[in-house]
Amino acid sequence: MSEWINKLRDSHADFDKGGLIDSLVTNPFKGFSLWFDEAITNNEIEANACIISTIEVSTLQPSSRIVYLKELKNEQFVFYTNYKSQKGTELLENPKASLLFFWPGLQRQVRIEGLVKKVSLEESDIYFASRPRESQLGAWASNQSEVLNNRNDLISRLEEFDLKFPNEVPRPPHWGGYGLSPNLIEFWQGLPSRLHDRLVFQKTAESWSTFRKNP
């Protein structure tokens, strides 16, 4: 372990992929879309993957995991999951959450904070219907975040639902979408000498205010 840590200490790669991010100062959603498109063009691996962090209310313990952004619609960042999962339970008690996108090839991050609420049943139905059959059956078979006695139990449930739904697989009532409505969006661009550019959009009663933070 110490040898590995020493190798990391000896690594001093600088940040030299981008410049100041003044082109984003007008609208944070257009700015995100621009950066997202550039991440796709730059062949960033799973550019729509992001970390979502939630809080367990009784202990104030934060937890994080990867989800996939499926849509940016009506100024909401939309993702889908099991409502009974740990994240779903925590969002029910405390709808405040954060998202973090990291595109290392471009040396960029976007941090988003805001309130989460469920999307409409119709939106969840439409997206669920677009998923591969195996993923649809998995949404029924997995009691997400609960203790699993053994792998065979999960496979058995998958096979049971495969027989139960020989044709169309309906959306489970405990599965659907969330939309995060941001009140803060921070764009982070790596720059040389660790003098990174951090541009923050803070929502106000009327629109968005902008300011920079020290790196």
| Tokens representing residue 152 in the block | 């065979």
Phi, psi of 83, deg, nearest 5? -65, -20
Q: Coil, helix or strand for 208?
A: strand
Residue 171 annotated to the active site: no
Catalytic, out of 65, 194, 198, 212: 194
| Tokens representing residue 157 in the block | 């449930």
Q: Which residue(s) pair with 179 in the sheet?
A: 78, 117
Place of tokens 């993923």: 135
| Tokens representing residue 64 in the block | 């994080």
Q: What is the DSSP letter of 56?
A: E
Q: Please count the CA atoms within 13 angstroms of the CA of 25 that sit on its side-chain side.
A: 8
Residue 204: CB partners within 8 Å, gap ≥ 6?
A: none
Phi, psi of 180, deg, nearest 5? -95, 120
Q: Active-site residues: which are they?
A: 194
